[in-house]
Amino acid sequence: MNRHVGKIIPAVPASAAPEIKTVHFADGRLAREWKTVELMINCYCRGHHDTDEVLCPECQQLHDYAAVRLERCRFGVEKPTCAQCPVHCYQKVRREQVKVVMRYAGPRMLWQHPVLSLIHWLDGYRKAPEI
């Protein structure tokens, strides 16, 4: 197993990255969860790749992948946090990337976005629906 602590390793070459995608969720809870994930990826990219407004190619790939996974979640509006979910829909490499991002961005989110952080923490107590 390749371990790269604190680094996002691209799953595909940057030249093969898809175009930037805008994501909108009709449900307020999913929209809030998406905003939290998006802000965490932005925080990580700013801190590790010295970017301001535009994500680096590796972080953009993770951003786009996370958007697709959230859009296609089988639980929809009943979705628990990924840590509580019985279905791991992320590829193993992507799951590790998100863990690295969350370990870095989570504590910083408490200061930058305290309300979103608190709500995300409370969502962690949400039980997953039966499969």
Q: Is 19 exposed, middle or buried (0-12, 13-18, 19+ CB in 10 A)?
A: exposed
Q: Which residues make Cβ contacts (< 8 Å) with residue 35, sequence separation at least 6?
A: 116
**Domain contains 129:** no
Q: What is the DSSP letter of 55?
A: P
C-alpha separations of 60 from 32, 71, 85, 99 in Å: 19, 17, 24, 16
Residue with token string 């932005």: 42
- Each residue of 32-48: pLDDT tens digit? 989 999 999 999 999 99
**Domain contains 53:** yes
Give the confidence band of 4 by pLDDT, cuts at 50, 70, 90.
Answer: very low
* pLDDT value at 101 more than 60: yes
* 5 or 102: which leads in pLDDT: 102
**Domain contains 11:** no
**Domain contains 13:** no
**Domain contains 130:** no
**Domain contains 20:** no
**Domain contains 12:** no
Q: Specify the number of domains making up the chain.
A: 1
**Domain contains 14:** no
Range of the domain at 88: 26-123
Segment 90-111 mean pLDDT: 94
Mean pLDDT of the chain: 83
Per residue in 24-57, is it b (16+ CB within 10 Å) or e — as a string? ebeeeebebbbebbebbbbbbbbebeeeeeebbe
